[in-house]
Amino acid sequence: MKKLMLICACIVVASVVTVTSLLPMPNVEAVTQADLDNIRDELNKIRNKINGYEQEAKKLAAQANTLNNKIALLKAEENTLMAQIELSQAEHDKLTGEIEATEKRINANAETIGYIITQYYYNEEVTPIERLASSENFSSFVDEEARLSNLADNMTSIIVENKALKAEKEKQKAEVKRVLDDLNDQKAELVNKRAEQQRLLEQTKGQEAAYQNMKGAANSEKAKLEAEQQRILEELAKQGNASGMTPGDPNKGGYPYSSECPAAKYNGTQRADKWGMYTCECVSYAAWKVDAAYGNMPYWGGKGNASQWLSNARNAGIPTSSVPKVGAVGVTSAGPYGHVVWVEAVSGNRVYVSQYNYAIAAIDYKKGEYSEMWVSASTYNYIYFGNWN
């Protein structure tokens, strides 16, 4: 008790200083604009590297489909994956640094709050008459009283800031998890890509004729599965009373790989996009729409069939529902591959969707192309990427 009174006395008789000098500044290493610029420049360099590899893959895909070209295309996709892994790692490191800075700020604020409470408590233990008596002059007393009255306001603002910082940290941690999941998926797909390249060389023994025979058999099997998929989609279209199927937007929804379609599907030179989906497929278009709208499309290479999207989304914590919403991805798991669409509009129990690689026998329409149509909302379940933090 004597020690507490001694501390109080020291505070009372001390010369009055301003609130700013009394409250300790948070001990946080400041992130300068130069630091932010350097981080942004590094990320942009990696993104440019990825774009370069994608352009290389695009050129290779347009060439004759030979064994050498297939090996070169797989290598280009491997290079793209390696650059994407580098980008994901850089984003992960950046987010980890941001979380560390946020935690430092939270801890510094907590120390400041404790300091304010201590100051307020010690000064409240001394009566205004005692503070007046110990002040150098009346002006100093008025300044001290103003300082004390501002302590509670300072503490309130810091508590509010800490609450916001903690919420921000949770968002940052969720983003780190998403980036880490992408990073792990990309690494797994890189292993698969290298294994695919090795299997191709072992099965063909480097012979062009063997490759063409193998490719012909694979394309034949793929054609059967796609025919079955389109048959099922046609049945779903009838059940959903699909109407107004049209080529729709002449810009094909803005899809950046549209110039490659449908030729890539006809000649078997499809390639993986940046999310691990094959170009000119419904999943590649939907992935691009999600990324363009929300910037948060996960990397689902190796598990990207439309029929897998709902389970992928639920495993990642992305909201799903049977209720349609503009800007959601509609999913049906029917058929060998399933099908995904982008919801453009909702009217009652019907949705207007845009899509790729949808053809029904009743309409003379090129498979692998862009289209739009109205259909019953119950045809799909929906993934809300826009509601995913």
Residue spans of the domains in the chain: they are 1-206, 225-389
Angle of helix 138-204 versus helix 67-124 axis, rounded to 10: 160
Task: Determine the pLDDT at residue 265.
Answer: 77
Say how many residues make up the chain.
389
Task: Determine the pLDDT at residue 380.
Answer: 96
Q: What is the pLDDT of residues 239-256, one digit of tens each?
A: 888 887 788 888 888 999
In what helix (H) or strand (E) does residue 354 lie, and over which residues does it extend?
Answer: strand 350-356
- Locate 45 and state its tokens: 């360099």
In what helix (H) or strand (E) does residue 76 lie, and over which residues does it extend?
Answer: helix 67-124
Task: Determine the pLDDT at residue 131.
Answer: 59
Task: Determine the pLDDT at residue 47.
Answer: 84
Task: Determine the pLDDT at residue 123.
Answer: 58
pLDDT-derived band at 140, boundaries 50, 70, 90: low
- With a CB cutoff of 8 Å and minimum separation 6, the contacts of 300 are 185, 275, 276, 277, 287, 308, 309, 312
Burial of 2 (0-12, 13-18, 19+ CB in 10 A): exposed
CATH of domain 225-389: 3.90.1720.10
Q: Which is nearest to 97 in space by CA: 160, 162, 29?
A: 29
Does pLDDT of 287 surpass 60? yes
Cα–Cα distance, 205 to 152 (Å, whole number): 79
Considering Cα of 101, then 105, then 110, then 115, what sign does the dihedral take? positive
Does pLDDT of 224 surpass 80? yes
Does pLDDT of 144 surpass 70? no
- Locate 349 and state its tokens: 């129990």
pLDDT-derived band at 69, boundaries 50, 70, 90: confident
pLDDT-derived band at 26, boundaries 50, 70, 90: very low
Cα–Cα distance, 229 to 370 (Å, whole number): 17
pLDDT-derived band at 116, boundaries 50, 70, 90: confident
Contact 340, 353 (CB under 8 A): no
Q: What is the pLDDT of residues 317-335, one digit of tens each?
A: 999 999 999 999 999 999 8
- Locate 141 and state its tokens: 């007393």
Percent of the chain with pLDDT strictly greater than 70: 80
Percent of the chain with pLDDT strictly greater than 90: 28
Task: Determine the pLDDT at residue 23.
Answer: 43
Query: What b/e string do you get for 18-43 counting C-beta neighbours within 10 Å, with b at 16 or more?
Result: ebeeebeeeebeeeeeeeeeebeeee
Kindly state the DSSP code that residue 379 receives in the 8-state scheme. Answer: G
- CA-atom Rg of the chain in angstroms: 31
Burial of 208 (0-12, 13-18, 19+ CB in 10 A): exposed
Task: Determine the pLDDT at residue 12.
Answer: 34
Does pLDDT of 258 surpass 80? yes
Greater model confidence, 268 or 217: 217
